[in-house]
Amino acid sequence: MKIFITGGTGNIGQYVTKAFLDAGHSLVVYTRTPERIPQIGQQKNVSLVKGNILDHEIMEKALQGCDAVVHIALGWGNSPLEMLKNDTEVTVFLAEKAEQAGVKNFVYTSSTAVYGRWFDGMDEDAPLYPDDLYGATKAASEKYLLGFNQYYTGQGKRGQKTSMHRNIIRPGYTFSNPAFEGGASQSDVRFRDIARSVLKNEDLVLSPNDGTQFLSAAQIAQIYLKLTESSLDREIFLGLGNTFTTWEEIAKWAIELTPGTKTKISYPAGEEKGKPNLVNVNKVKRLFGLSFDATEDLKDHIRWNLERERKALAGEKVHDVYHVW
């Protein structure tokens, strides 16, 4: 299969790119920063196209002849109109041009931010109440894709039906080490700050309830692979692990991995550990046989951050991991 992928050098995208290549697919990787992970452009069966997702003509030309489109790249704005233009409009444009080009499958990267409100046992069918522009942008893009079943010939007059399958992945908290040697990642600054504090013997004050169902980029890439290769249409999948992990637990692992550190962890005054709300991730297991515990990948990510901070504290130069709009 020939797959057009946006954001193929990003936090999630680099692992999706690797998973597709490992499965034998050929890729057109569309990225504004090809230099971020040089090895991707050196891979067999990869055509690298440099461009911004606002460069509509370049994207439209690059996706011609592809069997699937996987849209991961994020557009950003600081106002409602900027978010609409830089993200939702891009998604709608890409979907329409993919349909016109005969693409068979379109996979869109949304976010758990579409929910706004979280409750125990929620799943893909939970109501959407986004409480910020990012969540609203993702929710709007989802609705456009799911409603793109035909064109119109006039007001209230239905026209030609569409044939492209459209599916959605809602990632939660996703972390990654570099997928390719010499590449970069997009590690949360909290991993860095915990690693730095542990190496400097500084105490940490962390909530016992602050955490999530972490998932590594390598793990969520398997959902992208299964969904892109499937014949499913208009389905939504959550990209979350099956285990709730707190930042306190992450800090404890960092301490265990740093013999001799004097760092201690305390809770904010008056705060006690409660029971977390767990998101139901049974759908991806039921349809694809996938279930993820991110514990070992988290520990590996902590090791990676500890090693980076050791070098940084020693005055050595480290690869810039941050990748923003």
Q: How would residue 139 be classed by pLDDT, with cut points 50, 70 and 90?
A: very high
The H or E element containing residue 131 is none
Q: Which residues contact 269 (CB under 8 A, 6 or more apart)?
A: none
How far apart are the C-alpha atoms of 323 and 33, rounded to whole Å?
9
pLDDT value at residue 184: 75
- Domain total of the chain: 1
Q: Cβ atoms within 10 A of the Cβ of 273, count?
A: 11
Helix/strand/coil for 250: helix
- In the chain, the N- to C-terminal Cα span, in Å, equals 30
In a domain, 252, yes or no: no
The H or E element containing residue 173 is none
In a domain, 36, yes or no: yes
In a domain, 223, yes or no: yes
Q: What angle do CA 94, 100, 103 make, to 5 degrees?
A: 75
Is the per-residue pLDDT at 141 higher than 70?
A: yes
Sort strands 245-246 and 211-212 into parallel, antiparallel or unpaired: antiparallel
Tokens of 235: 């389905």
* Average pLDDT rounded to a whole number, residues 78-106: 98
In a domain, 8, yes or no: yes
Query: What integer best gives the mean pLDDT of the chain?
Result: 95
Q: Which residues contact 109 (CB under 8 A, 6 or more apart)?
A: 7, 12, 70, 71, 72, 74, 169, 171
In a domain, 113, yes or no: yes
Is the per-residue pLDDT at 283 higher than 80?
A: yes
In a domain, 312, yes or no: no
Which among 8, 6, 18 has a CA at the least distance from the CA of 44? 18
The amino acid occupying position 237 is F
Q: Are 198 and 258 in contact (CB under 8 A)?
A: yes
Q: Are 71 and 109 in contact (CB under 8 A)?
A: yes
In a domain, 93, yes or no: yes
* Model confidence pLDDT, tens digit, residues 239-274: 999 999 999 999 999 999 999 999 999 999 988 899
Which among 172, 283, 162, 278 has a CA at the least distance from the CA of 226? 283
In a domain, 274, yes or no: no
The CATH number of the domain holding residue 134 is: 3.40.50.720
What residue spans of the chain are helical by DSSP H? 13-22, 38-41, 56-62, 80-83, 89-100, 133-147, 189-199, 217-229, 247-256, 282-288, 295-313
Is the per-residue pLDDT at 320 higher than 80?
A: no
pLDDT value at residue 321: 62
What residue spans of 105-188 are helical by DSSP H? 133-147
Question: Which structural domain, as residue segments, surrounds residue 145?
Answer: 2-172+217-239
Specify the higher pLDDT residue, 35 or 108: 108
The total number of residues written for the chain in this structure: 325
How far apart are the C-alpha atoms of 4 and 98, rounded to whole Å?
10
Tokens of 62: 């690059």
* Model confidence pLDDT, tens digit, residues 159-181: 999 999 999 999 999 999 999 98
